[in-house]
């Protein structure tokens, strides 16, 4: 019962953060006040989610004991794999299907970070950690038992891609599935979260260059 309550609270924390942005927009709040409030709210929500994960304890497939060697190996695998997927899908979309590979999300985030550098805390740290906890630990992990690993990965990845509201749906779908794989094999949500954080940083740096 405690696990269910903690995970529901985790999900509600994520939804509440999304509503904060909506409420601020409805109040016509823009610029520095908007991004500062969103950054602070994201830090609080991320901290709350990490606390709830700790209180929740280990699920059925998470490792009971932290293994540094295994964690480092899977962080490297997760990060390298994510970057390869990014370039691979971009190549296929651009060269074979002649599709636009510009991500509106990335372009908007770059413009925002240029004007409000502190917002990078949200983009590079809070967002990937929250996404891993919500889409991998809450959705994916809990969907395995009523379905199976593949269906759980597909459903959680679809939700992950859908909620990004970006034209590059395919890349978010595949990335979601990849991080499900990393989480499942590493048996540690912080491993997939760290890979996600590093991948976001690399993509951002490459976009700037």
Are 39 and 119 spatial neighbours (Cβ–Cβ below 8 Å)? yes
**pLDDT tens digits, one per residue of 25-41:** 999 999 999 999 999 99
What is the number of structural domains in the chain?
1
Domain membership of residue 36 (yes or no) is no
Provide the domain limits for residue 196.
67-208
Domain membership of residue 174 (yes or no) is yes
Domain membership of residue 84 (yes or no) is yes
Domain membership of residue 161 (yes or no) is yes
Residue 145 has what DSSP assignment? T
Domain membership of residue 75 (yes or no) is yes
The residue length of the chain stands at: 209
pTM exceeds 0.85: yes
The stretch 49-61 carries a mean pLDDT of 92
Domain membership of residue 3 (yes or no) is no
Domain membership of residue 61 (yes or no) is no
Kindly state the tokens that stand for 193.
């979260």
C-alpha distances (whole Å) from 38 to each of 91, 122, 126, 147, 197 are 34, 8, 11, 36, 18
């Amino acid at each position: 019962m405690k696990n269910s309550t903690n995970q529901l609270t985790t999900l509600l924390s994520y939804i509440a953060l999304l509503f904060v942005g909506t409420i601020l927009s409805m109040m016509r709040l823009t610029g520095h006040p908007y991004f500062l409030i969103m950054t602070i709210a994201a830090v609080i929500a991320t901290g709350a989610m990490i606390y709830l994960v700790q209180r929740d304890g280990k699920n059925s497939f998470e490792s009971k004991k932290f293994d540094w060697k295994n964690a480092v190996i899977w962080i490297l695998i997760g990060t390298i794999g994510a970057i390869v997927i990014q370039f691979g899908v971009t190549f296929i979309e651009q060269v074979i299907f002649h599709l636009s590979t510009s991500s509106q999300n990335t372009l908007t985030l770059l413009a925002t970070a240029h004007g409000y550098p502190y917002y990078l805390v949200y983009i590079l740290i809070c967002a990937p950690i929250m996404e891993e906890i919500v889409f991998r630990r809450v959705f994916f992990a809990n969907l395995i038992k009523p379905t199976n690993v593949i269906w759980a990965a597909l459903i959680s990845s679809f939700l992950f891609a859908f909620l990004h509201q970006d034209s590059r749906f395919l890349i978010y779908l595949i990335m979601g599935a990849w991080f499900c794989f990393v989480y499942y094999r590493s048996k540690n949500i912080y491993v997939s979260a760290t890979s996600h954080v590093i991948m976001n940083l690399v993509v951002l740096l490459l976009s700037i260059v």
